[in-house]
Structure 1
């Protein structure tokens, strides 16, 4: 774990070496875009049995080594970077709602961010919803005002939360991997996420332990590696089945920038066996529960984003 954040190294990691000047909307947008494009949403630490914490410096150190993380890691590290760059950033307890039938509200399975003090024409109060940890969702930060927002091929909505009085609700695009997310208005400390992080990482019921998913957002769409299927949504849509170990790890490196260089060949072999077995179980479960094309579509989303 790094003892203090190396801001210059972090900026190099996301391709913004030399970014300077005081906090601004323009720089915040650049930082947000660069982060979601360069640092993937992934949780290989769970599949490799490498315990992690929610400590932002630890998460930043892992990002600097070439890895990604899920929301507690990505937004935790990003909030630390923003604070070091002079932004007024707050962390908030949130909750990802996986489907319309799932529970709404700030259940604690997500860490959301806001940045204040940056008024703009479309954000008169100067408060922005910032989230680099939602995988296939935001490309840019959103002004924290009620309304519909379009980013590339996707449409999102921000509105006051019905489940969290005083809080906010993010409604995802219908093609997204989850239904929506609520977060509380009050700021929270990182310690508020430690218990849920442990549960998501270790519980046999956690979707993170059932199917591996890697996601990366860009201006034109989403790349997602779910199980052994490489999926593109947005520009040039399509799905490719990865038939072997070599194809899988090449896709990780070429599409998501994940080389897993720190993982030995033997551990990669073990990881591949676990991924293959889990994918087979997931496909079998999906086929057995899907009685129609529409229910099959719904089932294909189920393992995504139970939180984090």
Structure 2
């Protein structure tokens, strides 16, 4: 995708009115200057308010990788997975004065093997004051704040110790590490939303995809996370003077309690319970 095509994609829906509605959705003010401090605040506010969720897969809803669809879903109070969250965030950043590019990544599995191409989307962001950052509001347990794109040193963040390193295969790609473990391998070539469509379809339809195993909705809370996986509600957070992590887990009794949990913890109003693809109706 050429630069003119990417600009046309960015201009497709995100005008000032829509951007203001987006900012209101995440509880953020329009920054006076699109600098690093503003990006940090927007990144954190996004994580605190917009959940990572795969509910569309388990509700039989289509996932359309077009800017208008992504932003409209978010403004309805929903979240999404990486393509949706970072795709929408990219559009917002561009409208309010940042330069933002979508980058393709491959996620490292527990066995150290890489996932398929376009397995994940992250953002390279340039501020109006010359900084460059890696922003990612769609990768579960990740940094709370953008990472310094140019640094190859360890970067302390409340979410862990991160480092951006040259991939050892000499490809020119970059590995993003958290606490010494590689999380994903990132291309440096800018991409457009259309480039992610095939892998997004594969993630939604392949029976072995982890996105199809259970409905999941998760949101950062400031000192922990709240996650609803199927009918299991898990709340974690820091407690006590020593900052120990507390964990509370319980099984919800049925449909009404599940729908109430979506409303209370994620602001998502549903008229039916998401049921794992292929699971029997309950």
- Shorter-chain TM-score: what band? 0.7 to 0.9
Task: Name the counterpart of 1:7.
Answer: 19
Q: How far is 1:249 from its partner?
A: 1.8
Rounded Cα–Cα distance in structure 2 between residues aligned with 1:254 and 1:108 = 33
Rounded Cα–Cα distance in structure 2 between residues aligned with 1:12 and 1:165 = 41
Task: Name the counterpart of 1:167.
Answer: 173
Task: Name the counterpart of 1:254.
Answer: 264
RMSD: 2.8
Q: Quick check: 128-137 or 138-147, which moved more? A: 138-147
SS in 2 for 1:31: helix
Please give the per-residue CA displacement for 1:148-183, whole angstroms capped at 9, x wherever unaligned: 333336333332223572222222459xxx961111
Q: What is the 5 A alignment of 1:275-286?
A: 277=279
CA contact (8 A) 1:164 1:182 kept: no
Task: Name the counterpart of 1:86.
Answer: 97
Q: How far is 1:189 from its partner?
A: 1.7
SS in 2 for 1:83: helix
SS in 2 for 1:224: strand
* TM-score (structure 1 length as normaliser): 0.76
Please give the per-residue CA displacement for 1:17-56, whole angstroms capped at 9, x wherever unaligned: x423121111101111111111100111111111121112
Task: Name the counterpart of 2:218.
Answer: 215
Task: Name the counterpart of 1:183.
Answer: 186
Please give the per-residue CA displacement for 1:66-94, whole angstroms capped at 9, x wherever unaligned: 10111111000100000001101111111
In structure 2, the CA distance between the partners of 1:33 and 1:163, relative to structure 1 (3 Å rule), is: farther
Task: Name the counterpart of 1:33.
Answer: 44
CA contact (8 A) 1:156 1:171 kept: yes
Rounded Cα–Cα distance in structure 2 between residues aligned with 1:118 and 1:106 = 34
Q: What is the 5 A alignment of 1:1-308?
A: 4-5=13-14, 6-16=18-28, 18-99=29-110, 101-104=111-114, 107-117=117-127, 126-144=131-149, 145-152=151-158, 154-163=160-169, 165-172=171-178, 180-235=183-238, 236-260=246-270, 264=271, 268=272, 271-272=274-275, 274=276, 277=279
CA contact (8 A) 1:222 1:232 kept: yes
* TM-score (structure 2 length as normaliser): 0.83
In structure 2, the CA distance between the partners of 1:164 and 1:43, relative to structure 1 (3 Å rule), is: farther
Q: Where in structure 1 are there 5+ consecutive unaligned residues?
A: 120-124, 281-308
Q: How far is 1:232 from its partner?
A: 3.1
Please give the per-residue CA displacement for 1:195-246, whole angstroms capped at 9, x wherever unaligned: 0011111222211111221111233222222232222344232322223222
Q: How far is 1:138 from its partner?
A: 2.5
Runs of 4+ displaced beyond 4 Å:
274-278
Higher helix share: 1
Rounded Cα–Cα distance in structure 1 between residues aligned with 2:142 and 2:52 = 11
CA contact (8 A) 2:142 2:159 kept: no
SS in 1 for 2:154: strand
SS in 2 for 1:94: strand
Rounded Cα–Cα distance in structure 1 between residues aligned with 2:75 and 2:202 = 25
